[in-house]
Structure 1
């Protein structure tokens, strides 16, 4: 099996002009934990907002300014201050076993799947691996 067999391709993304407020709203409204950031001009994968980075920054702002000021403070933070720019990336044709071992060794919750031209093909999350495990367990009853 390869990454393409389990990756999520229907993604909600932001571009580099977004703010922390945009990311927080998207995460909350769509129930997603990881948000890829694309270059607004080229569509090339730029960075990713992870759940950990998002929650850490939001909690820090809430503690500093209080809940009443949170929205306004989030609007002042460019997404690039929160997103992970030089993180790991994988390709759709990588073997799943290799990626699963990498997930465990590096404690990743997600990895962007990027094409050779830099465009985003999808994302693989720990939830995708859990879904695969469920499917395999049901098939092997």
Structure 2
């Protein structure tokens, strides 16, 4: 899943010659927390709501309102913006981008094309939307967590059992994190299973894999079984 498919394309920007007052106005007007700063069509920095608060915090408590407004109208973005900002290529995967945001402890970043031109912006909110889509949680239904042997066909075995009971799978995710050597964890979300046969389904699944948990969103049932393989 690529950044270009999840980023916001209509990016609100600001010119490097604009002032802090204009930046504050645009962020409030568009309900955003970051503005790419442009110079002759190229991105040269970013300014965030945190930058604006930091720039005015030291004087805010001692100035009258009109004095504070005058102050922020005099502060140029070039003086408070973050130069050489973190930029994300539009053909990065969403997972790579999440790693970048986490590493640098930022909530979003401008997205650029191969020529360095601004193509969009991606935020934690966009990544959350991607995660929701990827996991199929919007379909609600039921999700099972398994621990299976890391052998060919182990995932197909449990998937075939779910299909046998009429389950339609909307997502299958796997991970080696927190799994002992020789095993992997598998997370399958499905809907369409006859809930009167749910106990029977769980019992048959237990014969082929270690059940970690089950979440039934419709009935708001959450069962945790453990992690023994």
2:24–2:52 contact (8 Å) kept in structure 1: yes
- In 2, the alpha carbon distance for the partners of 1:81 and 1:139 equals 48
**Mapping for residues 1-141 of structure 1, pairs under 5 Å:** 1-39=1-39, 41=40, 43-136=41-134, 137-139=137-139, 141=141
Query: Following superposition, which runs of at least 4 residues in structure 1 exceed 3 angstroms of deviation?
Result: none
- In 2, the alpha carbon distance for the partners of 1:103 and 1:140 equals 28
**Which one has more relative contact order, counting CA pairs under 8 Å at least 6 apart?**
1
- How many equivalent pairs are there? 139
- In 1, the alpha carbon distance for the partners of 2:89 and 2:139 equals 27
Secondary structure of the equivalent of 2:45? strand
Cα deviation for residue 36 of structure 1 reads 0.8
Q: Structure 1, unaligned stretches of length 5 or more?
A: none
Cα deviation for residue 140 of structure 1 reads 6.2
**TM-score of the aligned structures, taking structure 1 as reference length:** 0.88
1:49–1:83 contact (8 Å) kept in structure 2: yes
Alpha-carbon RMSD: 1.7
Cα deviation for residue 126 of structure 1 reads 1.2
Residues 60 and 97 of structure 1, relative CA distance in 2, 3 Å threshold: same
Where is the strand percentage greater, Structure 1 or Structure 2?
2
Secondary structure of the equivalent of 2:83? coil
